Structure 1
């Protein structure tokens, strides 16, 4: 670690906001470009950089001044990118399961040419939900959280969570029936 950086880290460890800002200015662009090279999404890369610096601030007291700070930053960033890909993989697996269960001919499922269109439509319908409903639905159906966990996290009642889930399922069922995509099976999938 270069001497200037070592002093900056010492100030950061004491909770000095200006030291934190200088570190952010020094490294944020490099971390953004590093993240972007993996994620190919500006928004996702920006989220990763924000996550990294939130972690740096929260764990500032534990940062070691005898090790390379830059290596530490890039290790945290790489771990955040891996976490992002793992989450994306889980989301895609859930979407795959939904579409598979909607398929009337499961034996021909992998050969369906409209599979990506179905995935895109599902994602589009979820994105069109009102913001709070979309958040509740995603936390329950994609992240697998309980109604109680969601209620506590969002500071709403369990009844409100139930309402949003019920409305989400009704909306998706109606839209998939309108599109003639076996909405009853889709609804059943989400009731389980």
Structure 2
């Protein structure tokens, strides 16, 4: 049998779309390193770059029947990586906005509790909301909340990517912010 590495991109894609796992593996070998270098150049983060390239290949695998390549396989793959990089950058901006909004919310206290008991109630409500977070999200959030660990350290400790850690913390902050806003409106009614 002919070595699949000798086939053109178009031939490899056609073979892959007809069900050849070997053709997919040949595409992966041919493009993974190049796509990784491209993503890393855009992001400057090895874990995020690897995650993105893996996501592109997973999408290629799962959507093989529906893929229509008009620009050539290389153009298709590079465009997919670029789009995912841009989405990640946008999510990071959103994450930072959520974090800033939560920090501002916690710093603002237009009507401080009248008594120490009220302050304890607010603290207990906050802690209860943290306890309600999904287990892994709570674990990641608590490690970051303690302030002793960077995202990379948390990722290493839990065998996750930096991107996953950032996303979990962002989601936790969004959930807590939403829940605290609900509690704030209910507490205003109670205090007054």
TM-score interval (norm. to shorter):
0.5 to 0.7
Secondary structure of 1:64's counterpart equals coil
Per-residue CA shift, 1:10-36, capped at 9, x if unaligned?
A: 111012111111100100111101111
Structure 2 CA distance for partners of 1:30 and 1:141, relative to 1, 3 Å: same
Distance between the aligned counterparts of 2:181 and 2:142, measured in 1?
A: 14
User: How high is the TM-score relative to the length of structure 2?
Assistant: 0.57
1:28 aligns with 2:25: no
Secondary structure of 1:29's counterpart equals helix
Give the one of 63, 71, 76 matched to 1:59: 63
Unaligned runs of 5+ in 2: 1-5, 111-140, 159-164, 185-192
The corresponding residue for 2:144 is 124
1:93 aligns with 2:90: no
1:14 aligns with 2:23: no
Distance between the aligned counterparts of 1:95 and 1:63, measured in 2?
A: 37
Q: Is the 8 A contact 1:10 1:65 kept in 2?
A: no
Deviation at 1:4, TM superposition (A): 2.0
Q: How many residues align?
A: 133
CA RMSD of aligned residues (A): 3.7
Distance between the aligned counterparts of 1:136 and 1:5, measured in 2?
A: 37
The corresponding residue for 1:155 is none
Query: How does 1:65-144 map onto structure 2 within 5 Å?
Result: 67-104=71-108, 124-125=144-145, 139=171, 141-142=173-174
Deviation at 1:38, TM superposition (A): 1.2
Per-residue CA shift, 1:62-84, capped at 9, x if unaligned?
A: 33365411001011111100111
User: How high is the TM-score relative to the length of structure 1?
Assistant: 0.57
Deviation at 1:50, TM superposition (A): 0.6
Secondary structure of 2:68's counterpart equals coil
Distance between the aligned counterparts of 1:136 and 1:191, measured in 2?
A: 22
Per-residue CA shift, 1:140-179, capped at 9, x if unaligned?
A: 644x6xxxxxxxxxxxxxxxxxxxxxxxx7xxxxxxxxxx
Query: Which is greater in Rg?
Result: 2
Structure showing greater relative contact order (alpha-carbon pairs closer than 8 Å, 6 or more residues apart): 2
